[in-house]
Chains A and B, each alone.
Chain A
Amino acid sequence: MQVKGNYMVNTTPNVVWDMITNPAVLEKITPGIKTLTVTGPDQYDAISEVKVGPVKGNFEGTLSLKDQVNLESCVLVVDQKSKMGNVVAEISMKLIPDGNDNTEVQYTGDAKMSGMLARMGQRIMSGVVSTLSRQFFQSLNKELEGEPSTE
């Protein structure tokens, strides 16, 4: 399944970069996350509980970042298992400054699903994925409001 979207974050790329590479922040802003354990640089074991529409369940597996180009782009690798089926995804993210201290995050990638998640159909799953991404970036913005800028 193709995953694609973009989101405006109200800060500069360096701040966004710091946040999405910081486990403490990730644990706060990733939707449904229960525990995030660091297993290596940009490598995590994650346990989450997702509830969006028809998708309800506990997910367990790994999250990692690769191909990092500092402050510009990286690839998020997701490998999560659940009773409803498994998700393996590689999503490239690009941080594009708009010149006014805002950052447009563009993401695009491919998610492979199995089991019930696959059978549910792409129309529903793509809706679920975009809801989860929106929640992620909304939380990121909220997190920003609560914290003083690092600049």
Chain B
Amino acid sequence: MGKFVGKAVKRREDARFLKGAGTYTDDIKLPKMAHTAFVRSPYAHANVLSIDIEEAKNEPGVIAIYTGNDACGEFGVPCGWQVDFKNGETMREPAHPLLTKDKIRHVGEAVAIVVAETLEQARDAAEMVMVDYEELLAVTDPKQAMEAGAPLVHDQWEDNAAFDWCIGNDRAEVEAALESAHHVTEMEYRNHRVAPNAIEPRSYIADYDVNADKWTLYTSTQNPHLIRLLLCAFVLGIPEHKVRVVSKDVGGGFGSKIYHYTEEALLTWISREIGRPVKWTSDRSEAFMTDAHGRDHVVKSKMGFDKDGKIVAHLTDEYCAMGAYLSTFAPAVPTYLHGTLFQGVYTTPLIHLNVIAPFTHTVVVDAYRGAGRPEATYLLERIISKAAKEMGMDPAEIRFKNFIPPFDGVEEAGYQTQVALQYDSGDYHGVLERGLEMLGYEDFRKEQAKAREYGKLLGVGFSSYIEGCGIAPSAVVGALGARAGLYEVGHVRVQPTGKVSVFTGAHSHGQGHETVFAQFVADKLGIEMDDVEIEHGDTDQVAFGMGTYGSRSLAVGGSAIIKSIDKILEKGAKIAAHKLEAAEEDLEYAEGKWTVKGTDKSISFGDVSLTAYVPHDYPEGLEPGLDFSSFYDPSNFTYPFGTHIAVVEVDSDTGKVDVKRFIACDDVGNVMNPMIVDGQIHGGVVQGIGQALLEEVVFDEAGQMINASYMDYAMPRADDIPMIETDRTVTPCPHNPLGVKGAGEAGCIGSTPAVVNAVVDALAHLGVTDIQMPVTPQRVWKAMQN
């Protein structure tokens, strides 16, 4: 498109990040700021018999102590998505109080908060708060939570189901097709729970200004406007126009900072109670206990094939944990962000998915990088690879056989799936072909056979993923139960001197919006990137916004900015025509100036903007100024896709898996900045390998997370990851102006099944057909012995 788009422009934000000069919420220190410490339950399920704060109150520095009897907002934080039972019963939605009064439902649930002059004083006093609990039996496994007699998380309902939902074709029809299928492959496994682990833990400062009667909430979040809306309208009932939410630099979120957390609302309330700014920053231990976790599906699946290896039907039943309450997006994750991707990249004619979503005595489960799509991809890509082995087919061949043929979404129509969505454009053959070429597939199989002779266990695993990003048309998500619209706001303010300030409702938590957005804005206006500033993360600056998640920032947020730029160029042309004494239709805009076609008469963007603000010689009836804001509501999701290939070597003595190569050939539509897309893929792949090999939240039978520290929770490290080989094909999105699809989650969606497929391939000759994630040395070794 121009000078900057498509180039690996270095990230502007790194100038401050690499110097340690970013401004994260915890870096902010306000005058007279008080500090807080929570008293949290050591039990997963308990009755609170009594809370004694008398001794703690007299500790040095204590300003106030609040318990569930003080805190306002009986209902607490709301859920943003309603998924009803398939029989029509309404989703069961419990109150999620800011501080619990009587019943504990997960370890780490807050029963009291101590506000003190210093953090140390707050923590010391919190230790003096005496809580008497009566411990009760807990259930943490989503399937066990639905067994008869399981301890109830919310005893106003007869069982633990939040909802029981299904999608796709008629179940009986799918079952019949499986009955008559030539071959049926079955799988039963757990897509286990992981913790999000953003480098910057959650942090909030609430500052009530008594003279102005206004609040400022500084928060480490992915969507400041949504937090303000939920906080004001649903939790505290305070006027939205009197609250400013500021989110400066955010050090990672992976989904966990989308949601409105109880602590944010509680601090906002406390700040007015004590008339001072008040801060809370989670420590790592609290993060493990209270940040929304991801995944946790118990899966049972069947896929039927004809004699040629074509899929004829797919039936899956899942139990997907919600945790103790319903987090902001939780019900959408195992349903509309999961079941709607069960078509995958295949022509499967019959699909049925049933999801039972139980409450469990654990912290809430919500979107975690990929949100529902990694779980869908894991299932499809594992089961099709397993089927290939069972039917004696090559894993690449079975995929080629079942791929949806290429379609561009312009000449050829989008692909209508069996599970509600219509794919925009795709060429699934292309990415696998390129992936195989990068791998050198034939040579690899020879090397593998040879290595086996020497006792070396090599394996290769494929994953052909598709995902749904840029969510989505508001009317569609509304019909699917979203209680918000999912458009985006882009506001472009051309200053009198021709410098451009862009305000976006998307909010970077590490992605590099300040760079990428400036690239396409500069190109579209034909000006320098240095003349473009991207502003985000402040509700007083940005009109509105839905934030950053679901790889939507560029596809939706970028498109909103383009809409405003179009309005600016349209108005600018009127001013230029007036100044050049020409007709508007005789002008063309390129390289930052309007030119009368076929002449050397032109006027620059800067001169037009100055004229707009100093309108002495100006078109009659035209408003001064050059400043436009737009709301963009996309017409569809976007559907990035790709092929990920992992090559692993398994140590035959210890069972340790070493990822030797990782190939990612992705199609994310048009690419604005290849370096940033590579970075997003790298990060996602590492998280996907992390889930496949290392990470897992483990609870004991009492509901205690027994690996809630970095001594025991195995995060991937540099030496667990090979050089990641990336390449791309480009199938532009046909329905947004930039032709982009989204790259934030792709790495995490495609990689996990590729790694596990590779491990199973390495062990295939020993009769291993499946292995539970995370594929630890212990599990591999056991599988090899059986």
Contacts and interface: CB of A to CB of B under 8 A. Distances in A.
A35 interface: no
B697 to A, nearest CB: 11
Contact of B709 (A83, A86, A112, A120): A120
A5 interface: no
Given A85-B42, A86-B42, A119 B127 contact: no
A68 interface: no
Contacts of A121: 706-709, 711-712
Given A83-B127, A86-B42, A114-B43, A119 B702 contact: no
A118 B108 CA distance: 12
A113 B707 contact: no
B288 interface: yes
A47 to B, nearest CB: 15
B704 interface: yes
A115 B709 contact: no
Contacts of A123: 711-712
A122 interface: yes
Interface in B686-727: 700, 702, 704-709, 711-712
Given A85-B42, A86-B42, A124-B711, A118 B127 contact: no
A52 interface: no
Nearest to B710: A121
A74 B127 CA distance: 35
A118 B712 contact: no
A85 B127 CA distance: 11
B705 A119 contact: yes
A118 B706 contact: yes
Interface in A52-73: none
B587 interface: no
Contacts of A83: 127
Contacts of A86: 42
A151 B178 CA distance: 79
A114 B107 contact: yes
Contacts of B532: none
A145 B288 CA distance: 48
A92 B289 CA distance: 33
A116 interface: yes
B69 interface: no
B654 interface: no
Nearest to A83: B127
A107 B26 CA distance: 48
B704 A118 contact: yes
Contact of A115 (B42, B711, B712): B42
A112 B44 CA distance: 13
Interface in B270-290: 285, 288-289
A118 B285 contact: no
Given A85-B42, A114-B107, A124-B711, A119 B700 contact: no
Contacts of B43: 114
A120 B708 CA distance: 7
Contacts, number: 47
A114 B704 contact: yes
Contacts of B708: 118-119, 121
Contacts of A112: 700, 702
A120 B107 CA distance: 14
A129 to B, nearest CB: 14
Contacts of A113: 704
Please classify how large the interface on chain B is, using the bins under 10, 10 to 19, 20 to 34, 35 or more: 10 to 19
A138 to B, nearest CB: 27
B700 A118 contact: yes
A118 B285 CA distance: 11
A83 to B, nearest CB: 5
B121 to A, nearest CB: 16
Interface in A103-151: 112-116, 118-124
A122 B285 CA distance: 16
A116 B706 CA distance: 9
Nearest to A84: B42
B42 A114 contact: yes
Contacts of B700: 112, 118
Contacts of B704: 113-115, 118-119
Interface in A78-101: 83, 85-86
Which of B42, B705, B712: most chain A CB closer than 10 A? B42
Contacts of A114: 42-43, 107, 702, 704
Contacts of B709: 119-121
A115 B288 CA distance: 12
Contacts of B127: 83
Nearest to A85: B42
A48 B657 CA distance: 45
B524 to A, nearest CB: 51
Contacts of A124: 711
B135 to A, nearest CB: 8
Contact of A116 (B285, B711, B712): B285
A85 B705 CA distance: 13
B584 to A, nearest CB: 67
B363 to A, nearest CB: 12
Contacts of B288: 119
B120 to A, nearest CB: 15
Contacts of B107: 114-115, 118
Contacts of A116: 42, 285
A113 B700 CA distance: 9
A124 B42 CA distance: 18
A1 B701 CA distance: 11
Which of A85, A113, A115, A123 has the most CB atoms of chain B within a 10 A radius of its CB? A115
A118 B704 CA distance: 6
Contacts of A1: 706
Contacts of A118: 42, 107, 700, 702, 704-706, 708
Interface in B26-72: 42-43
Nearest to B702: A112
Nearest to B135: A114
A135 to B, nearest CB: 23
Nearest to A114: B42
Interface in B655-712: 700, 702, 704-709, 711-712
B710 to A, nearest CB: 10
Nearest to A58: B127
Given A83-B127, A114-B107, A116-B285, A122 B711 contact: no
Contacts of B702: 112, 114, 118
A112 B703 CA distance: 11
Nearest to B40: A115
Cβ-closest 3 pairs across A and B: A115-B42, A119-B708, A118-B704
Given A118-B705, A119-B707, A122-B712, 12 more contacts: A83-B127, A114-B107, A116-B285, A118-B107, A118-B706, A119-B704, A119-B705, A119-B709, A120-B709, A121-B707, A121-B708, A123-B711
28 contacts: A1-B706, A83-B127, A85-B42, A86-B42, A112-B700, A113-B704, A114-B43, A114-B107, A114-B704, A115-B107, A115-B704, A116-B285, A118-B42, A118-B702, A118-B704, A118-B706, A119-B285, A119-B289, A119-B704, A119-B705, A119-B707, A120-B709, A121-B706, A121-B707, A121-B711, A122-B706, A123-B711, A123-B712
Interface of B: 42-43, 107, 127, 285, 288-289, 700, 702, 704-709, 711-712
